[in-house]
Amino acid sequence: MKCWWLASLLLLAGQATAGERVLSAGNSVTELILALDARDQLVATDSTSVLPEGLNVPKLGYHRQLSAEGMLSTNPDLVVGSAEMGPDDALELLSRAGVAVEKLPEALTVAGLQQNITRLGELLNKQPQASALHQKVQQQADALHGSTNGKKAIFLLLSDGNRIQVAGHNTLADSLITLAGGSNPATELEGYKPVAIEALVAMQPEVILISRRHLDQQGTPAQLLRNFPLLGQTPAATNDAIVAINGRALIGGLGLSTLDEAERLHHEWFSQP
């Protein structure tokens, strides 16, 4: 029965007209589609995507763990997502069904974001909107270049059992810090790496960034310091500079919400006094 149902979905998917029915996976991609005025083309998203009020489309699950059956049930003609979209076997099944599948490269720079905007404009037939969005993004990024104080800032990723990882080089969190006008003392590390608290203290961060969800799980910055008392020896703790950020801004590559967070952090923490 399941095989018959899946075969029917494969047939329906192959009948769609390219560009009309879009499934988006990854918040950074979905927000670009919305900014390109293509909301009417969206038929489904993943669970990380934030949708405006009044736009009700199915959310099919986490962008790394999408099922072929779930995606095909929405009859998309284009599935587009971040480089993290998967699993690959599910995407391969969609391709075999005649559905166009596009993984956008993970953008870690504004230039990378601009390239993704261009590509989405082509895929969605929204080139004029892409050109306008290019200008808006560049203006926002240019405004972040001046009057920065270069404060040392780290981003901490908390996992089960209160294990800590710090964001090093080639991470979106590092890009966020740089865009905002700070400097990341953990760039000698590559990617996200577990570190001892003593090593974090030695970095002497003036600002500690942590996702709002993880900080909420701790309770308050004061509770975080009670759980990790050695962090109290950092300038960030002394100056009440443990800062919650929007964790969705770090999903799927540098996007519009990443720029918005960089702008907020710049004005609140990294602009010249």
pLDDT of residue 19: 65
Give tens-digit pLDDT for 129-164: 999 999 999 999 999 987 788 999 999 998 877 789
What is the Cα–Cα distance from 7 to 81, expressed in whole angstroms? Answer: 24
Please name the residues in contact with 25: beta carbons below 8 A apart, sequence gap of 6 or more: 45, 46, 49, 63, 66, 79, 80, 81, 82, 85
Three-state SS for 75? coil
12: enclosing H helix or E strand: helix 2-14
Task: Kindly give the interhelix angle for 256-265 and 172-180, rounded to the nearest 10 degrees.
Answer: 50
pLDDT of residue 14: 43
Percentage of the chain modeled with pLDDT above 70: 92
Closest CA to 83 of 107, 65, 48: 107
What is the Cα–Cα distance from 195 to 58, expressed in whole angstroms? Answer: 39
pLDDT of residue 15: 41
Residues of the chain scoring pLDDT < 70: 1-19, 272-273
pLDDT of residue 148: 84
In total, the chain counts a number of residues equal to 273
Whether the ω angle into residue 273 lies within 30 degrees of 0, i.e. cis, is no
pTM for the model stands at 0.89
Residue 118: Cβ within 10 Å count? 15
What is the Cα–Cα distance from 51 to 236, expressed in whole angstroms? Answer: 34
What is the Cα–Cα distance from 122 to 251, expressed in whole angstroms? Answer: 23
Q: Which residue segments constitute the domains of the chain, with CATH numbers given? A: 2-142 (3.40.50.1980), 153-270 (3.40.50.1980)
